[in-house]
Amino acid sequence: MPYSPKITSVDALPANEAKWIEFQKITWSDQTGTSRVWESASRKTRGKSGVDAVAISTVIRHPSRPASTIVILQYRPPVDAVCVEFPAGLVDEMEQPGDAALRELTEETGFKGKLSFVSPTIVSDPGMSTANMRLATVEVNLGEDEKEPEQQLEDGEFIERVVVPLDELYERLQKYSEEGKMVDARLWHWAAGLHFAKTML
Amino acid sequence: MPYSPKITSVDALPANEAKWIEFQKITWSDQTGTSRVWESASRKTRGKSGVDAVAISTVIRHPSRPASTIVILQYRPPVDAVCVEFPAGLVDEMEQPGDAALRELTEETGFKGKLSFVSPTIVSDPGMSTANMRLATVEVNLGEDEKEPEQQLEDGEFIERVVVPLDELYERLQKYSEEGKMVDARLWHWAAGLHFAKTML
């Protein structure tokens, strides 16, 4: 990276200037029949599939190395930090979520794999936004001497991929956090569930 | 529930009417030195701790029943569905996240427990919002004949709590999803990590 990304200004965004997101005022009738108001944010980019985004939990198997997954590191302006996330991306207008998962994994990490599972539609922050997603599981089987593939990033995308043994994932995320990186809540929860199974059950 | 909650209207929300959330236009300089714009949503309620919200992964241990966790079911207007989530809530202005976790767990589920871990600050949807949170782990030890405590809901809160054996959590979330409920992405990821450890490692 030739330059460190940095924020130069933050301004209020008038609704009529917003291109990617929008606000709704939702009027709803609650369980007592009382009319109430809820404020919500939405993405404007949701396509035919009805799903905003996909994330990918990858399992890389190799004859002589421990089972691993891939996380990506990228600067995210809303939180002004390098974030640690599962590979992920928006689903295109006419695309199916499973296809988006394989496409994004290859673009962001170079790896090609076999889709083994796609979750139902799940909601990212339902107290505040309509944002939804699916979590795909992709299996990658590497040969003993197979080289790591090249990423296929678009111009203006700066994404670092890191292959992490599954046994080290939780500790690695803690370390990233101590270094000032921001771990995505969904990736953290996945790693915490894995860690919990190993240590508390 | 005497009435089913329902949405009566959805309108565009002008920025100057929004009380709980706001939009930012972030101007930033990227890794090539190019000036770019990112649109983001924020909560207006963040307090001294710098953390918007906490969620709680509870572990209930009982002498003769399987180790369990608690999920809550509540209608969420942004996604117009009953959502399945870990107990969670906003951190009050002067509150610490760990205290908020114990308070919310008792309010939403009645259970009191011992805080065994609080995650670092993690970000809920960093491509779209500044929203952040911490995930607390709370341990509850029940005696053989101990009764389940009462919830302490505020007026206008309609929250159902469900105690789920950890071994059944992943399948239960799939079932809720099939019934038309929306599973929170963070809870799904936690359960998927747990399930992954049991089946794929």
Q: pLDDT tens-digit profile of A34-75?
A: 999 999 999 999 999 999 999 999 999 999 999 999 999 999
Write down the domain spans for chain A. Answer: 15-199
Strands A132-141 and A53-62, by their bridges, are parallel
Please choose, from the candidates A132, A134, A115, A114, the residue with its C-alpha nearest in 3D space to the C-alpha of residue A123: A132
Residues 89-118 on A with a CB inside 8 Å of B are: none
Which one of A125, A133, A168, A190 would you mutate to disrupt binding with B, by most B Cβ within 10 Å of its Cβ?
A125
In angstroms, the CA A23 to CA A147 distance is 46
Contact residues for B148 (Cβ-Cβ < 8 A; gap 6+): B110, B163
| H or E stretch at B97 | helix B97-109
More confident residue, B2 or A49: A49
Picking from B122, B158, B179, B199 by the largest number of A CB atoms within 10 A of its own CB, the best residue to mutate is: B122
The backbone region for A33, taken as left when phi is positive above 0, alpha when psi lies in -120 to 50, beta otherwise, is left
Q: Which fold has domain A15-199?
A: Nucleoside Triphosphate Pyrophosphohydrolase (3.90.79)
CA distances in angstroms from B199 to A186, A190, A196, B194, listed in the order given: 20, 14, 14, 9
> What is the residue type of A150?
E
Which CATH superfamily is B46-199 part of? Nucleoside Triphosphate Pyrophosphohydrolase (3.90.79.10)
**Distance (Å) of CA B132 to CA A127, A182, B147:** 13, 10, 35
Mean pLDDT of B135-156: 90
- Residue whose C-alpha is closest to residue B186's, from B141, B135, B120, B115: B135
pLDDT digits (tens, 9 = 90+) for B167-187: 999 999 999 999 999 999 999
Q: What is the pLDDT of residue B1?
A: 53
Inter-chain residue contact A128 with B21, CB threshold 8 Å: yes
